[in-house]
Structure 1
Amino acid sequence: MELSPVSTCARFHHIHPCPTPLSFPIFPRVSTTTSSSGSGSGRGSQRSSAAAGTPALIDIPCNDAQKSGAADAQRRHSKPYLARKDAILQVQKSPHLGSALQRLGGVLKVQDLNVILRNFGQQSRWQDLFQLFDWMQQHNKISASSYSSYIKFMGTSLNPAKALEIYNNIPDELTKTNVFICNSVLRCLIRNGKFDSSMQLFRKMKHNGLIPDAITYSTLLAGCMKVKDGYSKALDLVQELNYNGLQMDSVMYGTLLAVCASNNRCEEAQSYFNQMKDEGHSPNIYHYSSLLNAYASGGNYKKAEELVQDMKSSGLVPNKVMLTTQLKVYVRGRLFEKSRDLLVELDTLGFAKDEMPYCLLMDGLAKAGRIDEARSVFNEMKGKCVKPGGYSYSIMISSFCRGGLFEEAKELAAEFEAKCDKYDVAICNAILCAYCRAGEMESVMRTMRKMDELAISPDYNTFHILIKFFCKEKLYMLAYQTMEDMHRKGHQPAEELCSSLIYHLGKIKAHSEAFSAYSMLKYSKRTMCKAFHEKILHILIAGKLLKDAYVVVKDNAKFISPAAIKKFAKSFVKLGNINLINDVLKVIHASGNKIDQHNQFSAASQRLFQMAVSRYIAQPEKKDLLLQLLQWMPGQGYVVDSSTRNLILQNAHLFGRQLIAEILSKQHMMSKALKSH
């Protein structure tokens, strides 16, 4: 960042004759940005090199402290300096930013505008921030620091798309690989849950010339905490930073421990903790807390107690987070007496003024089936004037639902709605579950409207609760519409629920909707029960959706019984698309269901061929399909029966007598050969 001498004049009283390393980066202007050869050597070296490569706003010779101090004081009282100082204050306070910039923009330098930019960001004045940055771009008063700060605030305002747009539109390719700008973009994406996008961009940045520093890797490591296979992704990053000659610092170790904890890697967390100490890094409260979190995933209370004791021996005092995490360890290990004792200690220390520690114990008790004890903790919390929120209510409502206490669940849901105004998807799901189990349709609809009003996006559990409820209320089309919405949102329906809905849709003759629900499940990543294919086949046949039925048979014939395939074949040849009859017969043959006298098709096989021939004769324009069928049959060991043969001969003039005679002659020879066997 660039530091304006105008807005931070008080800090210059502490300037030393020889500049000391700054605690923040200083960037050159875009037009003069150069890459630092030492950017991969660590945070301190990079900051120093960045500072050294930047034209100083106030040039202070290192060999003359008194002269530099006098020059500094003189500049502070110069007219240009005072004019800039006044201009900064006016722009920051102006209710009309555009007019203020029009009047005062000529006085302000890039570093002054950066100060105003950061001021707007720190005060969350997003519209002013956007307007100022646009003005800076238009008037070419912009530096790398401007980009870095602006992108950082885009992450704070939850606008990663805008941050990416700004980054991609940076005109100078060298500036786009400035490590501070790149770090800001990556941090913005990570902060907004865009880990995959951040990794793709990181690879592109490296290809374009970025030399990542320790902060780059620390930022990406932090993103591994909340993604699938985060531990393996973190290992790849650690290997890469080591390959690039960078060293793990205490911040990175803390992040890596947190990644291990979030991925249930207890042993690995312990190993990294020991490695960190062996390398000379002193663990702080954050490291201990992260390792304790790893122990919590398995309820390893003995190691947790040893760790807390080790921390105390090192002179660190357990804080609220540490003790709350230890409580979680006890709860996971179902050591409820120890949990209660620790909760009392938290309360005594003043660390139990919110619902979290109570919720941990309540949740553990409820999941252990000790609902009465969980209710007692909930009431104790309210008795101590600790305001319950959505988390505690959702725990208790859900536990009542699991225990079959539907009236109590409904009453507690109504109590939350009356007393609380902060909703999230977890409490909404609990409330929906309570009202659904109690059969309160009006309350269910009211809760759904509430979610829409508050822009709370439903998750997998929301859809599951609603579909199950609508099926119970025999509102099968509403259940189907909810499943469609679920699918559009990227959630995969559970097979058991989907199967039940498909069955009921078939019963009410909603055959097309049943097939759509089947397709949602089939093309999801879930494993599908083999019997499911035959179930949907019967529904499609009943609904005369024979083209869809053909797709099911074609893709899954090996999972469908011969009787079901026989039923499908008869229906399709009789009523299906005439252009697909030959294809259907070939698929049935290829599936191992040979259509001849020696298996389950026997007499039915002749009826199939007879029906097919009859349909072709009824539409002479389909003569090519009839000829193709008759030519295909002998090669597979099939012949027409005498009645079908006579029917063909009677209509031979429609297809060419000579050709029909040749084909039937071959079939006759095949028939003799079959009889001889």
Structure 2
Amino acid sequence: MAFVSAIGSSCRCSAAGQHIPELAPAPIAPVRISSPSSIEEAAAAVRLKVSDKSPPEAALLPSQSLEAIFGSSGSGSAGSERRFPLPKQRLGALARYPPEGKPCDVSEAAHSLLASISKQEDSSDATELLEFIAGELVLTDSELVYFVKALGRQGKWKKALEVFEWIRKHDCFKLRGVATASILSVLGNHEQLPAALELFESLKQDESYSLDVYAYTSLISILSRARRFDEGITLFETMQREGQRGNAVTYNVMLDLYGKRGDSWDRIQSLFQEMKDLEISPDDYTYNTMITACIQNSHCQEALRLFQEMKEAGCCPNRVTYNALLDVYGKGGMHKEASELLVEMEAAGISPNIVTYNELIAAYARAGLCDEAAALKKSLLSKGLCPDEFTYCTLISAFNRAERYEKALETFTEMRKTNCTPNIVTYNILIDIYGRMEKLDDMMKVFKFMQEKNCTPDLVTWNSLLKSFGNCGMLTEVSNVFREMKRAGYMPGVDTFNILIECYGRCGYVDYSVDIYKGLLRTGLQPTVPTFAALMASLAREGRWQQCEKVSQEMAEAGLQLSDACHAGLIHSYANSGQFFQLRKYIDELEKSAKQPLSGILCKTFVLAYCKCGMDNEAQLALNQLYDNGHSPDIKVFNAMISMCAKRGWIERAVKLLEEIRKAQLKPDGVTYNCLMSMYGREGMYYKAEEVMSEMRRAGKAPNLITYNTLLYSYTKHGRMDDAARVFGDMVAARVRPDNFTFNTLVGSYSSLGLYKEALSVIEYMTEHGCQPTQITFKALLDGYNRNASPSRKKPGGDGGGRPIEMIKELDPAKNIHEFHPA
């Protein structure tokens, strides 16, 4: 089809136009643009279509029909009118923009024109078609704005932009906020932020056009969705400086932005109060946004207060409100209150949907009540609802956090049997599960499989890999994954830095963790509460409690509240540095200031810290408090209690704790078995220790270096060197590499028994196998020699002292014997 692009300069206006509430105080008259005489016949046909008048024969098209221009529209008889409502556009999480208003009248011809524009392959053809038709078709500004929105909904943002630019070039159409906001929203919905910014700047430079609050609000929302929060705030401040007064939608968008950015609750409240001071009445979206903002820091009481205020203000809580409040309760560990809220919701005549049940399931899952969460899934089915991907991912993640890995994998298998297709979230959880299980080969198989299923790894995937390798102390692999992540086009975000801080801290490189934190600041990224929590956890491992206190002060100065993880880091720093008084004082302050039952994280931290300090009475009381608050101990808590019992020699109590682990459907891990073996070894029950090792193998847990060292130490402590030699042989056969502790234990034991040749042969073996003797090694040898130097203390089977010092010199002539034994 050939298109004519010439346009006459004359325009005429009529009184017909569609009123758009708020956005259009006065209607814009329809515009008719004159055209060359070559399309007069087509114009007659268009007018015929709109007016439904019987045409004279001369008005019929000799060579073209309306269908030839637009294609068959199938739109009913001539003269009929069709009404198309203004599309609803979501801004931020909860606010709608523009306001809905009344439906817009769109003529049959205009609708057919839109259909024809949509069919054009080249976006530039849209403007040519508009030029061709506009001369004969009366178009209102509302219809053209409808074109922009409709094309945007169809995913044709380029054509929408072409239509907008066409409107902009014609003075007959007066651009207003609705048109600009609509095209900006279209660009934002299609993640075309650069194009939106370029258009906004172009309009700003256009002296004939002034941007209004709707345009500013639309772009702020786009920036918020792109997580470019600082730019959004700057634009909001610019809008205010230029005299544009924000409306309810503007403040809804800004409140949502602050919530997403993780701003302090005080700052969010300040903006909310500013809105009220300007006499802008909060609406249901405002309150929903405020309640959603409470989720970030688990402000349960604030959320409940806002919920009551919302009802008093005449706003009706809807399903979004209840779901947001459920999320707040869930993240605050208030699963009982969440259940009561569901009852209230149903009593208010609001039917729960799958999101509601997912939030409730998540509340129980976060509280560690995995079985109760799984039971809710069955209740969901009885309501006629079907579990979705979020339901299954929540349960799988809950079992993962509870270290019930087999149950997590069973739930994944169940998910595969339904119509739920695993998504990127599912694969990321599986990667985390296998990483926690230290089954790194299986983890990498999942990583490869998801790519084969055309599921591209995201930043969370890479972060999960980094965390898994870091937890296993495999820093070389951490570096390799980090390089691959950047090669894949992902730049490290705040979460990536948080994981790296945690990885290096866990491996004992605390100073590196601090350097990584400083590197985060240099990139311009803003540290979040989890960043400070990871940094404090790293510092706590070396007992640097002064630095942890300094970090907490920096958070307070930045307006950030300490999370439970931050409190835990500070508590562990006191415990690891032996600051018992500070530890008691800090825990007492937390308990006294608590307005609600303490979270599971804090209760568990109390137990771990008291066990670490050997404060057994306090540890037992903290464990009771954990149960009283409705929380369940995890395997780390049980291990800490068993370890404390092992050091005290409380065998029956340790065995009882092992039974409780099994009742809680938890599985003992390597630490559990090692603690039990150490306990039996201390009490001389070495055969019982071997039974524990056998049970460990039957449970599918391979004995590691600590396991063998624990059993080896148990035998050597009681002089059973033949058994110790046997364990050492099993260790080597299992390809577990002995370390200095292994060899030093054997050297010291042989030497204390006067078996110097055996001791020296161990030293020779360790040297041959790449493990260099240390000062501790030679000191252990000499201490045994000195204890047995007297003939009266000569051990049966010993070599009478021999020449240990001379033999040490032969092994390492550079060693100065006085360095180890000045006497």
Give the structure-1-normalised TM-score. 0.56
Residues 402 and 244 of structure 1, relative CA distance in 2, 3 Å threshold: same
Q: Is the 8 A contact 1:410 1:435 kept in 2?
A: no
After superposition, the C-alpha distances for 1:207-260 in whole angstroms (9 at most, x for unaligned) are: 322232222222222222211225333322221221122212222111111111
Tell me whether 1:126 sits opposite 2:152 in the alignment: no
Residues 337 and 241 of structure 1, relative CA distance in 2, 3 Å threshold: same
Deviation at 1:177, TM superposition (A): 4.7
Aligned residue type for 1:260 = C
Tell me which of 172, 187, 196 is aligned to 1:154. 187
Aligned residue type for 2:124 = G
Equivalent pairs: percent with the same residue?
A: 25
Deviation at 1:53, TM superposition (A): 1.9
Tell me whether 1:381 sits opposite 2:415 in the alignment: yes
Tell me which of 89, 93, 105 is aligned to 2:131. 105
Q: Is the 8 A contact 2:501 2:538 kept in 1?
A: no
Deviation at 1:293, TM superposition (A): 0.9
Aligned residue type for 2:350 = L
Separation in 2 of the partners of 1:192 and 1:127? 20
Separation in 2 of the partners of 1:304 and 1:471? 36
Aligned residue type for 2:131 = G
After superposition, the C-alpha distances for 1:632-663 in whole angstroms (9 at most, x for unaligned) are: xxxxxxxxxxxxxxxxxxxxxxxxxxxxxxxx
Q: Is the 8 A contact 1:389 1:420 kept in 2?
A: no
The aligned residue for residue 554 of structure 1 is: none
The aligned residue for residue 236 of structure 2 is: 202
Count residues with an aligned counterpart. 452
After superposition, the C-alpha distances for 1:325-370 in whole angstroms (9 at most, x for unaligned) are: 0111111222223112102223455645433222222323322333
Q: Which structure 2 residues correspond to residues 245-394 of structure 1 after superposition, within 5 A?
A: 245-349=279-383, 351-384=385-418, 386-394=420-428
Q: Is the 8 A contact 1:258 1:290 kept in 2?
A: yes
The aligned residue for residue 95 of structure 1 is: 121
Q: Is the 8 A contact 2:364 2:370 kept in 1?
A: yes
After superposition, the C-alpha distances for 1:493-546 in whole angstroms (9 at most, x for unaligned) are: 9879999xxxxxxxxxxxxxxxxxxxxxxxxx9xxxxxxxxxxxxxxxxxxxxx
Residues 166 and 398 of structure 1, relative CA distance in 2, 3 Å threshold: same
Tell me whether 1:228 sits opposite 2:228 in the alignment: no
Deviation at 1:72, TM superposition (A): 13
Aligned residue type for 1:458 = P
Deviation at 1:271, TM superposition (A): 0.4
Q: Is the 8 A contact 2:517 2:535 kept in 1?
A: no
Q: Is the 8 A contact 1:264 1:294 kept in 2?
A: yes
Tell me whether 1:193 sits opposite 2:227 in the alignment: yes
Residues 54 and 142 of structure 1, relative CA distance in 2, 3 Å threshold: closer
Aligned residue type for 2:159 = D
Separation in 2 of the partners of 1:132 and 1:121? 11
Tell me whether 1:423 sits opposite 2:449 in the alignment: no
Q: Is the 8 A contact 1:397 1:409 kept in 2?
A: yes
Q: Is the 8 A contact 2:424 2:455 kept in 1?
A: no
After superposition, the C-alpha distances for 1:427-463 in whole angstroms (9 at most, x for unaligned) are: 2333455567789999989966875675343335556
Q: Which structure 2 residues correspond to residues 434-583 of structure 1 after superposition, within 5 A?
A: 434=468, 451=485, 455-460=489-494, 462=496, 489-490=523-524
Separation in 1 of the partners of 2:392 and 2:108? 57
Q: Is the 8 A contact 1:257 1:287 kept in 2?
A: yes
Q: Is the 8 A contact 2:436 2:468 kept in 1?
A: no
Tell me which of 189, 192, 200 is aligned to 1:167. 200
Tell me which of 264, 271, 274 is aligned to 1:237. 271
Separation in 2 of the partners of 1:204 and 1:255? 23
- 5+ residue gaps in structure 1? 1-17, 27-46, 59-70, 474-478, 500-524, 526-677
Residues 350 and 262 of structure 1, relative CA distance in 2, 3 Å threshold: farther
Residues 411 and 154 of structure 1, relative CA distance in 2, 3 Å threshold: closer
Higher helix share: 1
Aligned residue type for 1:369 = E
Deviation at 1:165, TM superposition (A): 3.3
Aligned residue type for 1:393 = Y
Separation in 2 of the partners of 1:431 and 1:394? 9
**3-state DSSP of counterpart to 1:176:** coil
The aligned residue for residue 41 of structure 1 is: none
Give the structure-2-normalised TM-score. 0.47
The aligned residue for residue 667 of structure 1 is: none
Q: Is the 8 A contact 2:331 2:366 kept in 1?
A: yes
Separation in 2 of the partners of 1:465 and 1:281? 42
The aligned residue for residue 218 of structure 2 is: 184
The aligned residue for residue 55 of structure 1 is: 28
Deviation at 1:471, TM superposition (A): 13
**3-state DSSP of counterpart to 1:212:** coil
Q: Is the 8 A contact 2:329 2:335 kept in 1?
A: yes
- 5+ residue gaps in structure 2? 1-15, 32-46, 60-65, 67-106, 508-512, 540-557, 559-823
